Amino acid sequence: MSSEAFPDIPVIPFEGPDSRNPLAFKHYDKEEVIGGKPMKDHFRFGMAYWHTMRNPLADPFGPGTSQKPWDDGTDSVENAVKRVDVAFEFMQKTGIDFYCFHDRDVAPEGATLKESNESLDRVADALESKQKETGIKLLWGTACLFAHPRYNQGAATSPYAEVFAYAGAQVKKALEVTHRLGGEGYTFWGGREGYSTLWNTNLKQELEHLAAFLHMAVDHARKIGFTGQFYIEPKPREPSTHQYDSDSAACLNFLREHDLLDHLKLNIETNHATLAGHSMMHELEVAMAAGALGSIDANTGDELIGWDTDQFPTNIYLTTQIMLCLLKMGGFTTGGLNFDAKPRRESFEPVDLFHAHIGGMDAFARGLKVAHAIREDGRLDQFVADRYSSYDSGIGAKIQGREVGFEQLEAHVLSQGEPSIPSGRQEMLENLINEFI
C-alpha cells in the first residue's frame, strides 16, 4: 500500500474468537456465508467520512484532541486531496467496502458557490480514481446544510428564500457529484430543518418548503439520470430544539402527506432513535411496516449523557435486534450499515479509529450469527405467528378480510361470550433470546 498514514497497522486479519490481538477480527469473517450470503453482503459496512476523517473530537467543554498526523490542519484543496488517500487506506485495512460523505467533509467550502463547486470537483477526481483502484463504493452522499452560518435558521426551512435557493444550489451539486461517483444513495438529514422557538416560526409553511425542496431533488435526479435511493434520516432534536424529521413515524407521515413516499426511504440511526425516546428496534419496525427501511446509521448513544454521542455499537443485544430486523426484511438492497460514529475524546490516537471500527464490525458479526440462529431455531417466529393465529380462520379471518362490521361482531360476542386469552410470555421470550446470546 502506497500511503504512509498508518504504517504500523496491517490489513486487519480475521483470527477467530480465541485471538487476543486487538487489531484482529474475532467474529467478522468477510466471506463467511451465513444464511446463504457472505457476511460482508449482509452488512455493507460504510465509513462516515465526517467522523473518521474529519472529526476533531471536540466537546462542548473543550477543543479537539484527535491526532491526524497526515493532515496539515489547513482547509486547502491539496490537504483535502491528500486525505482521500488516507480514507481509502483506512477502508482497505479495515475491509470496509463503502463510505458516505457530506460535500463539505471531503472538500472545503469556498468564498463563493462557484469556488466550492470547483474544489468539490477536484476532490471528486481523487475519490473517483481511488474508487476505481480499490473497488470501494459510495454508499450515499449528502450536503452539509447545517454548519455554515447562513443555515443558522434552517436551509430548506429557512424563513429566507435566498437561503432556500443556496441550499438548493448546494444539493444540486452534491447530487451530481454523488451520481458521478456511482453513489447508491443520497441522504437528507435536516439538522436545522426545525425550529428553535415557535414564537418566530410558521411551521406549516416551513414543512411545505421542505416538501418542495425534496420534490426538486427528485426532479433533478430524474433529469441527470441518478437512480440511487433517496433517504431521509430521522432525528428529534440537536442542533434544533425540534426537528421536523423527528422519528420514523413523523417522517412517514410527512412523506405520505407530501407525495414523497415513492421516492424516499428512511435511514435510521440508533442514537437518534433513543434521543426520540424509542428503541432502535421500534424505529426499524415502524419503517419496515411501511416498506420504507432503506439504510442504517450504525452507532449508539450514552443513555446517561443524553445527547448525540455517536458511539460505536458494541452491545450484542442491540446488534442482534438490528440483524433480526434486517433478516426479516430480506437484507439491504441499496442501503448499508454506515458507522456514523466516533471514538471518545479520550481515544485520540489513529489506532483508536481501528479499534472502534473493528469493535463495531465484530459486534455486528456476532449479532448476525445470533439473529440467524434465532431464526433457524424458529421458536420466536412460531410464537408470534401462533399469537395472531386467531385471525387465520373464523371471525378473525373475516376481520382481517374486512368482511364484517360492528353488528356482526356484536352477534359473535353474544353467541360466544367472554374470550379466554393466553399469556404474552414476555419473560419466556427474553430468556429464549438469551439462550442464543
Interface ranges with ligand XUL (CB under 6 A) = 50, 102, 142, 187, 189, 233, 235, 269, 297, 308, 340
| Min separation Cβ 239 and ligand XUL, Å | 9
| Min separation Cβ 339 and ligand XUL, Å | 11
Interaction between residue 245 and Co ion (CB under 5 A): no
Contact assessment for residue 313 and residue 285, using Cβ atoms and an 8 Å cutoff:
no
Catalytic (active site) residue 412: no
How many residues in the chain? 437
Rounded Cα gap, residues 82 and 86, in angstroms:
7
One-letter amino acid identity for 401? G
Interaction between residue 340 and Co ion (CB under 5 A): yes
| Min separation Cβ 352 and Co ion, Å | 20
Instruction: Supply the DSSP symbol for 29.
Output: -
Please say which residue, 295 or 320, places its beta carbon nearer to ligand XUL: 295
Please say which residue, 166 or 231, places its beta carbon nearer to ligand XUL: 231
| Min separation Cβ 269 and ligand XUL, Å | 5
Q: Which residues contact 428 (CB under 8 A, 6 or more apart)?
A: none
| Min separation Cβ 311 and ligand XUL, Å | 12
Instruction: Supply the DSSP symbol for 313.
Output: P
Segment holding 296, helix H or strand E: strand 293-297
Q: Collapsing DSSP states into helix, strand and coil, what is residue 280?
A: helix
Q: Which does 308 bind (CB under 5 to 8 A by kind): ligand XUL, Co ion, none?
A: ligand XUL
Instruction: Supply the DSSP symbol for 345.
Output: T
Rounded Cα gap, residues 124 and 135, in angstroms:
15
Q: What is the DSSP string of 348-362?
A: -SHHHHHHHHHHHHH
Please say which residue, 340 or 362, places its beta carbon nearer to ligand XUL: 340
Q: Which does 362 bind (CB under 5 to 8 A by kind): Co ion, ligand XUL, none?
A: none
Q: Which does 142 bind (CB under 5 to 8 A by kind): ligand XUL, Co ion, none?
A: ligand XUL
Main-chain phi, psi angles of 238, to 5 degrees? 75, 100
Annotated catalytic residue within 97, 103, 105, 247: 105
Main-chain phi, psi angles of 268, to 5 degrees? -95, 130
Segment holding 410, helix H or strand E: helix 406-416
Interaction between residue 310 and Co ion (CB under 5 A): no
Please say which residue, 184 or 340, places its beta carbon nearer to ligand XUL: 340
| Min separation Cβ 189 and ligand XUL, Å | 4
Residue with nearest beta carbon to ligand XUL: 189
| Min separation Cβ 369 and Co ion, Å | 26
Q: Which residues contact 416 (CB under 8 A, 6 or more apart)?
A: none
Please say which residue, 340 or 362, places its beta carbon nearer to Co ion: 340
x-or-dash pattern for Co ion, window 261-280, by CB under 5 A?
--------x-----------
Q: How many CB atoms lie within 10 A of CB 242?
A: 14
Please say which residue, 136 or 273, places its beta carbon nearer to Co ion: 273
Q: Which does 265 bind (CB under 5 to 8 A by kind): ligand XUL, Co ion, none?
A: none
Catalytic (active site) residue 102: yes
Rounded Cα gap, residues 129 and 358, in angstroms:
26
Q: How many CB atoms lie within 10 A of CB 404?
A: 15
Q: Which does 14 bind (CB under 5 to 8 A by kind): Co ion, ligand XUL, none?
A: none
Rg, Å, the chain Cα set: 24
Rounded Cα gap, residues 157 and 163, in angstroms:
9
One-letter amino acid identity for 104? R
182: left (phi over 0), alpha (psi -120 to 50) or beta: left
| Exposure string for 361-371, b = 16+ CB within 10 A, e = fewer | bbbbbbbbbbb
Q: Which does 105 bind (CB under 5 to 8 A by kind): Co ion, ligand XUL, none?
A: none
Interaction between residue 362 and Co ion (CB under 5 A): no
Q: Which does 94 bind (CB under 5 to 8 A by kind): Co ion, ligand XUL, none?
A: none
Please say which residue, 187 or 334, places its beta carbon nearer to ligand XUL: 187
Annotated catalytic residue within 42, 102, 179, 278: 102
Please say which residue, 25 or 195, places its beta carbon nearer to ligand XUL: 195
Q: Which does 99 bind (CB under 5 to 8 A by kind): ligand XUL, Co ion, none?
A: none
Interaction between residue 297 and Co ion (CB under 5 A): yes
| Min separation Cβ 269 and Co ion, Å | 4
Contact assessment for residue 34 and residue 372, using Cβ atoms and an 8 Å cutoff:
yes
Site residues, Co ion (CB under 5 A): 269, 297, 340
Supply the residues annotated as catalytic: 102, 105
